[in-house]
Amino acid sequence: MRIINRAHLPWFVFVIAATVFAIWLYVGNFAPQNLPAALHLPDSLQQKPPENHRVGGTPLGLIFGTIALSIFVFAALLGVRKKVVLWRVGTVQRWLRAHIWLTLLTIPLVILHSGFRLGGPMTTLIIVLYLVVMASGIYGLVLQHYMPTAMMERLPAESVYEQIPHIRAQLVAAATKMRDSFRPVPLSKPDAGAPAPSAEKTVTAGSAPMASTAAELSTPTARAKTVVGSTITAETVAAAERKPEQKSAAPAATPIPPPAVAQTPLKPAPKPAPPATDADSEAALLELLDRQIIPYLSVHRGDRMLLGNARFSEDTFRFVKLRVTEAYRERVEEMQSWCDERRMLDLQLKLHHWLHAWLFVHAPVSFLLLMLVFWHAFVTLFKY
């Protein structure tokens, strides 16, 4: 069930009927010879065809024009209705349905009102704007009809749009932290906006591989690993959430023993890693982090980078896995999951922009159109 569903059927029937009726009135008035005798308009509805071909100025043309103008005003009110969310004046869903179908009805009304002519420069401009508004509206409707399903299928773990920058920063921080675990002296951060990596658990090169950082990420993917429920355990959060307060506190005068509760990883504690670390593996991972992963995670447009390509990414990580020793494979997988996550966030951003960008054309042009139509009505009614 998508946006256009069975609830739209009555509207569809209404618009078709109204269009047929309007055409009948038009043809019956201005070209009765084209109608079969049975369909001729009653005499009371007959008018003289306009001499100067200006249908808009005839009573029937004015009726078409007025109805179209009223529909424009109603359509613009949808914007107001969306702002006053609490008013119980019909669900927004009903308003939108009416907005869609009534504006579609304006197509025959406008054509019949114009009498198949563009008229002067003013009316030509109005028609062009009208075309832009209608085209952007129909385009938006098509997008909104099909894109949500595409988003649902392609984004298994969607995050709230406003949180995407924050999640990106988390990914950069995790990568930087891992890089620092390979290199004792932290380098300058590639992304100034990312939170500084915590000094905690900084493991110098030559020590055992550090524990997974997965527990510290609360990204959608991290959560979506199980279908239902949170897999974050109490200990993880209890430990992780203590950090902010303590950062603001002044250092104590003397060394204080740390509390008994320390960070506990998500999974059962990683088994003590093999004592010997592999310098080659670390060098390879360091290079990968510095050259590929951190730049990719920090860049604004990730799809332009090599790792933005799913296939390239998969190949790279498969290759890297072969280059490092067994003890480091888990961490390669972790890096891969960051890149996958980043790719998904980029995709979400892209789809989100597609889904909403059309409104930036539709809404302002509609407003301009409305103003011009009012002007057109004022000028034609009161100046001529």
> Where in 302-361 is the site for other proteins (CB under 8 A)?
352, 355-356
Q: What is the number of alpha carbons within 13 Å of residue 302 lying toward its C-beta?
A: 29
Return the ∠ at Cα 158 (arms to 213 and 240), rounded to 5°.
30
Residues 80-139 that bind other proteins (CB under 8 A): 82, 85-89, 91-93, 95-96
Nearer CB in complex with other proteins: 43/245: 245
How near is the Cβ of 166 to other proteins at its closest, in Å?
13
Alpha carbons 361 and 78: distance in angstroms, whole number: 16
Q: Which residue among 29, 58, 136, 159 contacts other proteins (CB under 8 A)?
A: 159
How near is the Cβ of 100 to other proteins at its closest, in Å?
10
Residue 275 makes contact with other proteins by CB under 8 A? no
- How far from 351 is each of 38, 89, 95, 149, 357, CA to CA, in Å? 54, 32, 25, 11, 10
**What DSSP character marks residue 324?**
S
Q: What is the number of alpha carbons within 13 Å of residue 164 lying toward its C-beta?
A: 19
Residues 48-87 that bind other proteins (CB under 8 A): 82, 85-87
Residue 125's CB is within 10 A of a number of other CB atoms, namely 15
State both tokens at 176: 């930087």
Alpha carbons 215 and 329: distance in angstroms, whole number: 18
How near is the Cβ of 204 to other proteins at its closest, in Å?
11
Nearer CB in complex with other proteins: 49/90: 90
Q: Which residue among 32, 50, 57, 148 contacts other proteins (CB under 8 A)?
A: 148
Q: Which residue among 246, 275, 311, 383 contacts other proteins (CB under 8 A)?
A: 246
Provide the mask over 203-242, with x wherever binding to other proteins is found by CB under 8 A and - wherever it is not: --------x------x-x--x--xxxxxxxxxx-xxx-xx
User: Cβ distance 375 to 126 under 8 Å?
Assistant: no
Q: Which residue among 149, 165, 318, 381 contacts other proteins (CB under 8 A)?
A: 149
